[in-house]
Amino acid sequence: MKEWATVIDHVSPTSFIFHISRCGSTLLSQLLGLNEESISLSEVPIFDDILRLRYKLPGITEEYTGELLQAAMKFYGQKRFGTEKNMFIKTDSWHIHFYRELRTLYPDVPFLLLYRAPAEVFESHVKLRGTQTVPGLIEPEVFGFANDGIPDFHSFPAKVIASYLTAYITVASTDSLSVLLNYNEGMTAIMDKIARVTNIKYDTALRQKMEERTGYHSKYPGTVFSEQRDMPPPECLWDALDLYNQVELLRFNQTHCT
């Protein structure tokens, strides 16, 4: 793959979209893909395989995985029609914990940090667990957890969410190319922020297509989207709620200092 990547006519990453899961990232990726000049990639399995390779094969160097990941990015960023100018990469949610590696490889690329109120994310995972919220499916070391026993199944999603928000605080406090995006801002406002950060223009027709698309469920495009919230926040989520408030303060400062 590394050899092929050297001859592929490709688009370099325009931005990486990090997310805490169940926060509108699928819809956002779909909206970005409506632009014919953009390639929008969503949770590409081989990217995850490469990033987590060191947990599966001890002795693999960061330099090696970095070269492999850059080659894979070029491979998936291959121009299909010759008109593509942008490439947006929606990561897996746990890839925020590979921030340092990705920033080293792409020092000038904006990192978008999408998130949502922890209670809403937690409730969604209680109803239907994502990969990262089932203990053992992702190496606990990825989240900074000790691998020393069986974690509590019920509270595990809350710990994962807290790990993401902790990482967001670190990144947003130190990385001038990071942009915090809260789902509650609305997709139109979020898309406008992304346009400003990436210098992408949306014409009237494209904007109308985006606005029409936001009315439907991202996982089931034919279904009109509606939200239901049934549970008060459990005690296991309190740490995440505190971290969320800290992230919100950072977002406020970003918004009013730019």
Determine the pLDDT at residue 223.
Answer: 43
Confidence of residue 158 (pLDDT cuts 50, 70, 90): very high
Distance CA 15, CA 109 (A): 6
| Percent residues over pLDDT 70 in the chain | 91
Determine the pLDDT at residue 151.
Answer: 84
Residue 59, classed as helix, strand or coil, is coil
Average the pLDDT over 176-205 and give the result: 91
Average the pLDDT over 79-92 and give the result: 94
Q: Enter the pTM of the model.
A: 0.90
Average the pLDDT over 18-35 and give the result: 88
Average the pLDDT over 111-118 and give the result: 96
Q: Is the pLDDT of residue 256 over 80?
A: no
CATH architecture of the domain covering 2-256: 3-Layer(aba) Sandwich (3.40)
Distances in whole angstroms, Cα of residue 196 to Cα of each of 28, 92, 229, 248 = 15, 24, 33, 20
Q: Is the pLDDT of residue 219 over 60?
A: no
Handedness of CA 88, 94, 96, 97 (dihedral sign): negative
Q: Is the pLDDT of residue 222 over 90?
A: no
Instruction: Render pLDDT for 44-78 as a digit per residue (tens, 0 to 9).
Output: 999 999 999 999 998 999 999 999 999 999 999 99
Instruction: Tell which wins on pLDDT, 217 or 102.
Output: 102
Average the pLDDT over 86-101 and give the result: 97
User: Do 209 and 215 form a contact (C-beta atoms < 8 A)?
Assistant: no
Instruction: Tell which wins on pLDDT, 150 or 45.
Output: 45
